[in-house]
Structure 1
Amino acid sequence: MAHIIVVGNEKGGAGKSTVSMHVATALSRMGHKVSTLDLDLRQKTLGRYVSNRETFLKKQDLTLPTPEYSELPEVDKDRLQPGENPYDHRLSAAISDLETRSDFVLIDCPGSHTRLSQVAHSLADTLITPLNDSFIDFDLLAHIDNDGERILGPSVYSEMVWNARQLRAQAGLKPIDWVVLRNRLGAQQMVNKAKMEKALERLSKRIGFRVIPGFNERVIFRELFPRGLTLLDLKDIGVQQLNISNVAARQELRDLIKALNLPGVTVDF
């Protein structure tokens, strides 16, 4: 059965879709069969990303490893069981179809609390929560005092993850490997970085997640989306020599994939 990766938090602008596309494409390039779902049924940023890739590759007559993207299947309401949620049914049907023919199913969640997101978290073998390096985003995980030193209590998102863990335990499934990914790191604000690092370290021990580095803030990510490309595709589209920033970004992606510690994955790029 496929290993399910869920990329989620309840705040927009943390880079979920960028992380999703890079992880999914990296796994595809390493020879794994990867399927993707976008549960943001309104914006569909990941869906647009994959669509942009397919359009660009067709125009350039190129063939590059690409994760499969699927829409949630529609449901005949007459076939629902009494009291059954139609969104639960749609997601269950999609997973049932994909997990038997995929090595990995990656689910990109919306930046808000929805029924679909809640159910997806309970399906996660690996949960990736991208987090901008600021206490505004830290509030997604826990509430802290005015000095940013003392943790006052978990946030509603952390409580949702806890509930998802409880559901998996009751079903006899293995625990969620929850990974908080520090994203969009900047070169400045060293004092804030140090405070964030200490706060995350304390919180990780308290509510049970791993902290790994993500991507620094780079212009290249804004340039890749319209063509559906990732950092790993640049040489294949004719970029002869990567600049220092792009080389560093590739290394960040390599470190990210290694740190996820996904089953059967050996990083070879």
Structure 2
Amino acid sequence: MLRCGIGQPQKKRVPIPVPQPNAPHRIVFANEKGGTGKSTTAVHVAIALAYQGARVGAIDLDPRQRTLHRYLENRAETESRRGIDLPNARFAVFQGSTTAELDALAAEVSEGMDFLLFDTPGRDDPFARHVATGADTLVTPLNDSFVDFDLIGQV
């Protein structure tokens, strides 16, 4: 007989952060599997939003690969070298060791921004989980393979 959980022990509930007034819309690109297109999608979304006139902040949570950061850094260097003005994002790489440090960096990067994007590493990561709990939009790219579909069910 199904009792719909009545009288059953409740799972510990994780408090969901409440968005602050005038806070940027937080978009998190996350998937525990690498190679799914998280960074590529984050780059395209950041630049597309910037071309639409939005003020965009971006934080790369993978200090080892730094894919999002490298792209935006190269774009800014090209802009400077060629003397052209391209829509871009304010960006940083998180290299801290606590969620408090991550929150401080997010506050710094997001000041005055309309959007704040997070590119996460392709592995289970406590900082990726932290930003995902506060996401307004969570984007989970995946490849069309049975392995990827199976993995997403376990995330």
Structure 1: 5+ residue stretches without partners? 75-85, 143-154, 158-269
Identity of aligned residues (%): 41
With over 3 angstroms needed to count, the CA separation of the structure-2 counterparts of 1:73 and 1:9, relative to structure 1, is closer
> Could you say which residue in structure 2 is the equivalent of 1:65?
87
Q: Give secondary structure in 1 for the equivalent of 2:57.
A: strand
The number of residue pairs the alignment matches comes to 133
In terms of Rg, which structure is larger? Answer: 1
Moved runs in structure 1, 4+ residues, more than 4 A? Answer: none
Question: Would you say the 8 A contact 2:63–2:93 is kept in 1?
Answer: no
Instruction: Tell me by how many angstroms 1:120 deviates.
Output: 1.1
Cα deviation, 1:242-261, whole Å, max 9, x if unaligned, reads xxxxxxxxxxxxxxxxxxxx
Q: How does 1:210-249 map to 2 (within 5 A)?
A: none
- 8 Å contact from structure 1 (residues 32, 104) kept in 2: yes
1:89 alignment partner, one of 79, 100, 104: 100
Is 2:45 the counterpart of 1:11?
no
Q: Secondary structure at 2:107's aligned position in 1?
A: helix
Matched residue type, 1:8: A
Q: Which moved more, 1:3-12 or 1:54-63?
A: 54-63
What is the TM-score when the length of structure 1 is the normalising length?
A: 0.47
* Residues 99 and 57 (structure 1), Cα distance of their counterparts in 2 relative to 1, 3 Å cut: closer
Residue of structure 2 aligned with 1:50, choices 64, 72, 80 = 72
Match of 1:101 among 98, 112, 126: 112
Kindly indicate whether the alpha-carbon contact (under 8 Å) linking 1:73 and 1:94 is maintained by their aligned counterparts in 2.
Answer: no
Consecutive unaligned residues in structure 2, runs of 5 or more: 1-22
Q: CA RMSD in A?
A: 1.5
1:123 aligns with one of 124, 127, 134: 134
- Larger RCO (alpha carbons 8 Å, 6+ apart): 2
1:138-175 deviation digits (Å, cap 9, x = unpaired): 12212xxxxxxxxxxxx1x1xxxxxxxxxxxxxxxxxx
Report if aligned partners of 2:59, 2:106 keep a CA contact under 8 Å in 1: no
Distance (whole Å) between structure 1 residues aligned to residue 129 and residue 142 of structure 2: 18
How many angstroms apart in 2 are the aligned matches of 1:39 and 1:99? Answer: 15
